[in-house]
Amino acid sequence: MQSLINIENLTVELQAKIILSNVDLSLEKGEILGLVGPSGCGKTTLLNTLAGFIAQNAGIIEIKPTNKAPIEISINNMLPAEQRNIGMIFQDYALFPHLTVNENICFGLSALAKTEQQNRCAELLTLLELSEFSQRFPHQLSGGQQQRVAIARALAPQPSLLLLDEPFSNIDARLRNELMIEIRQLLKRLGMTAIFVTHNKDEVFTFADKIAVMHQGQVLQVGSPASVCQQPNSWQVADFLQLGSWLPASLINNNNKLSVRTLIGELDEQSIKYQVLADLAKQESNNQLLIKPNNIERCQLKEYNVVIEHISVTEQGFHYLLRSIEQNSELSFSQLSYYSQELHTLGDALSVRLKADSFHLYAVENNHL
């Protein structure tokens, strides 16, 4: 399939600080991309740059709609926001408070004849189940209804690309999932290409076809949610997506045979992802193993190796945070996750070990975990 949007080497500098650095992304028509990353990583800046609210310092944004002429935005050809044919749904919806629902939706249709405006508006009102609210003002609607109006308004001018800035953050947690599924279905039905920003990993897994994880102005990894979860290419990706907990590990090179030692067991070379190990060859300390909940099991050892520090109840059983009994080693840990159906009490000492599996080992920058 042909890409609808291509972003190449996009760089944005604001107040002498690089906010986006050589961002490359592409998106096919009808795809939904979720931009995730910690606060201040540049997600919203990227969205604002695409929309035309922030000028890029370098790089090219290419948009190739199917039924319109392609546009290329570069520092030599900065198109104003109103000429990009991009729609946006803001975090606060930005509904015009002095206009009714109907007037809000028709706002971007002033180039069309009145009857055509009303027809398109009626169509969207029906599609988003807003017909009975058409003469109301935004403040007379619930949060969910306001969001529907924002969607209808953004879709009315038939944009090539829809940007959504944390669209679900103002929605009640109980309704959020339902609404996400509904809006995703709507966008899919309309074949709308969309980029949405969130800092909530659950939202991105529900809503997006593809995710891009950002960190300090760079895109670290792009791919389907499943592939990114299975193969996080850096500790930042794994950490942001909370794919497991971190276990300090040391890398041992014994006659060219690599192994990894932790306070709850050793792993041989086969258990570790090689790609990651290769990066570690130069650095033999400050390594962390990514431990998924099912990677730990109880065992019968002569000595206990962990103590329960915290207990919480989950749908599947109990979630324990474990602290190593050994506290003076560089491999000591204090917040290792362990899930079990068994009920223990706070302060219980246990023996645990790593199950045979394949693990990811990362070199983590100092003091970042």
Partner 1 sequence: MIIGNTSTSWKFFSWFFALALISPIVVMLVGSLNNAGDLFSHLWATVLPEYIQNTLVLGVLVALLSFCFGVPAAVLISQTNIVMAKQLRWLLMLPLAMPAYLVAYLYTDLFDYAGPVQRLLRAWFNWQSPNDYYFFDIRTLGGAAIVISLVMFPYVYMLTRTAFEQQDRNLLRASRLLGCSERQSFYKIALPLARPAIAISLTLVIMETLADFATVQYFAVNTLTTAIYDTWLGYGDFGAANALASVLMLFILFVVVAEQRARAGQRHQSSRPNANQERKKLSLTQQIFGSIFCWFLVLAGFLLPLTLLIIMAIDYADYPQLIALIATGKNSLEIAIYSATIATLIALTLALFHRLHQSRSRMIPLQISGFGYAIPGTVLAMAMLATFGPLDHAINDVAKGVGFQAPGLILSGTVFAIIFAFVVRFSAIANGTINAGISQIPKSLDLAPGSLGVKTLPAIFRVHLPLLKSSILVAWLLVFVEAMKELPAVLLLRPFNFETLSTQIYQLISDERLEQGALGAILIVLFGLLPIIFLNRQKDS
Q: How far apart are CA 220 and CA 224, in angstroms?
A: 14
- Taking the complex as a whole, the smallest distance from the CB of residue 15 to partner 1 amounts, in Å, to 12
Q: For partner 1, which residue of 5, 86, 212, 228 counts as binding (CB under 8 A)?
A: 86
> Is 90 a binder of partner 1 (CB under 8 A)?
yes
Q: For partner 1, which residue of 37, 42, 59, 138 counts as binding (CB under 8 A)?
A: 138
- Taking the complex as a whole, the smallest distance from the CB of residue 204 to partner 1 amounts, in Å, to 22
Q: Which of 147/286 has CB closer to partner 1? A: 147
Query: Which of 251, 271, 276 lies closest to 354 in space, CA to CA?
Result: 271
Q: Which of 111/173 has CB closer to partner 1? A: 111
> Is 37 a binder of partner 1 (CB under 8 A)?
no
Q: For partner 1, which residue of 66, 82, 300, 330 counts as binding (CB under 8 A)?
A: 82
Q: Which of 51/229 has CB closer to partner 1? A: 51
SS3 of 88, please? strand
Q: How far apart are CA 113 and CA 107, in angstroms?
A: 13
> Is 137 a binder of partner 1 (CB under 8 A)?
yes
- Tell which positions 40-59 bind partner 1, by CB under 8 A: 51-53
Query: Which of 237, 247, 345, 255 lies closest to 289 in space, CA to CA?
Result: 247
Q: How many CB atoms neighbour CB 190 within 10 A?
A: 14
Q: How far apart are CA 353 and CA 100, in angstroms?
A: 62
Q: Which of 139/282 has CB closer to partner 1? A: 139
Q: Which of 136/344 has CB closer to partner 1? A: 136
> Is 34 a binder of partner 1 (CB under 8 A)?
no
- Tell which positions 92-121 bind partner 1, by CB under 8 A: 92, 94, 96-98, 107-108, 110-111
Segment lying near partner 1 (by CB under 8 A), choices 114-122, 132-140, 221-229, 315-323? 132-140
- Taking the complex as a whole, the smallest distance from the CB of residue 210 to partner 1 amounts, in Å, to 23
Q: Which of 110/256 has CB closer to partner 1? A: 110
Q: Which of 92/178 has CB closer to partner 1? A: 92
Q: For partner 1, which residue of 81, 226, 346, 349 counts as binding (CB under 8 A)?
A: 81
**Sign of the dihedral defined by the CA atoms of residues 74, 79, 81, 87, in that order:** negative
C-alpha radius of gyration, the chain, whole number: 25
| Cβ–Cβ < 8 Å for 53, 79 | no
How many Å separate Cα 51 from the centre of its chain? 19
Q: Give the number of residues in contact with partner 1, rule: CB under 8 A.
A: 30
Query: Which of 234, 243, 230 lies closest to 291 in space, CA to CA?
Result: 243
Q: Cα separations (Å) of 339 from 73, 295, 319, 355?
A: 50, 10, 5, 13
Q: How far apart are CA 248 and CA 362, in angstroms?
A: 10
Q: What angle do CA 74, 76, 81 make, to 5 degrees?
A: 60
Binding site for partner 1 (CB under 8 A): 51-53, 80-82, 84, 86-88, 90-92, 94, 96-98, 107-108, 110-111, 137-140, 153-154, 156-157, 159
